[in-house]
Amino acid sequence: LAMAPPPRTYSRAELRQRCAQGSCLVLRGRRLYDVTGFVPLHPGGQQLLRQRAGSDVSAALDGPPHRHSDNARRWLEQYYVGDLRAEPGPLLERERPVDTINQTTNHWMDPRCKTVDPDKDLVDWHRPLLWQVGQLGEKYDEWVHQPVDRPIRLFHSDIIESFSKTAWYIVIVVWIPVVLYVSWLCYTSLGQGNTRLFSSLTTEYSIPVHKYCFPFLFILGMGLWSFVEYVIHRFVFHMNPPASNYFLITLHFLLHGQHHKSPFDRSRLVFPPVPASLVAAFFCCCLLLILPWAVGLSVFAGGLFGYVTYDMTHYYLHYGSPKKGSYLYGLKTYHVKHHFEHQKLGSGVTTRIWGNVCLPERPKG
């Protein structure tokens, strides 16, 4: 086997030049990391990480406004580019040697698609992962909660694979017209004055539903969606599948484990339209079974809009850079902790709303 080339070394002058050209560098001991591409993904946004670039990594990783886990330190290794060249003169504090035990040895890799280390990785990244993860057994839980920065392929078939991922804007293009059409349909139907609640139980005491009720039904649907998403996220997406159950491990990875393994895979941050349409049809049928047609569709329209809002918020929390101190800034910090610190809790986007109302989560540490 051919030996990997030695890591490149950089002088202080080269570092200053790269920074002047817009690169964002982090120095840990003499190990140098180029995190330019990761800056927009950092919960502190571009301003925070650029302020810390070039400093001791302990400050960059452990300082306010949040504390990083060991996963974050392992994550940093994906951006290793070389070492600071030894030069005459006293060492700076940030240049002193550090413990490099268990650090990645194959440093020459694409930061978004690192090559597989056969001695450490439990799956073959050159083949679809969905049919491999079930064989990990008791190792699955630890493996799936060690995030990597690379795309995931689930299926052998290119056609099925294309249905399992999508760009963020497709959610808006597909579902917003549906929300507008269903909303108009419901509003005009309610405007005819023929819709009444409980008419199947008692005609005398049934309650008329006017078109002015549509906004309230729409908002009710949004709230109902957020609660359903919270329950599903916490109790289904974050179930702990039995190590001996190949099917449940595979199902968990398909539903949500893939997102925790590769949290910055752009094509898998929102729900693809084809499987989403099946889920939407199920919830729509459930509503129409228990509510009058116009009322049920009004709630469904609100729920569908709530889903679109949720998916767009989730995407922004991964790739946006909200202003420090804003609500979205705090929400992004909260959500990134979910991926790198309190991963096994259902700390999704809606948890900050419902988690404090019912069934509160209490992360350790």
Is 339 annotated among the ligand-binding residues? Answer: yes
Is 260 annotated among the ligand-binding residues? Answer: yes
Is 126 annotated among the ligand-binding residues? Answer: no
Give the number of other CB atoms < 10 A from CB of residue 218: 22
The C-alpha atoms of residue 333 and residue 158 are separated, in whole angstroms, by 35
| DSSP H helices in the chain | 12-20, 45-52, 57-62, 70-76, 140-144, 158-163, 168-191, 214-232, 246-252, 258-261, 273-290, 293-319, 327-340, 351-354
Cis previous bond, 111, omega within 30: no
- Which pairing describes strands 9-10 and 196-197: parallel, antiparallel, or unpaired? unpaired
Is 338 annotated among the ligand-binding residues? Answer: yes
The C-alpha atoms of residue 274 and residue 155 are separated, in whole angstroms, by 15
Is 318 annotated among the ligand-binding residues? Answer: yes
Is 145 annotated among the ligand-binding residues? Answer: no
Is 238 annotated among the ligand-binding residues? Answer: yes
CA angle 270, 271, 272 (to 5 degrees): 110
Is 233 annotated among the ligand-binding residues? Answer: yes
- Reading the block at residue 240, the tokens are 């702990």
Give the number of other CB atoms < 10 A from CB of residue 360: 9
Annotated binding site: 42, 68, 233, 238, 256, 259-260, 314, 318, 335, 338-339
Q: Which residues are annotated as a binding site for heme?
A: 42, 68
Point out the annotated binding site for Zn(2+). 233, 238, 256, 259-260, 314, 318, 335, 338-339
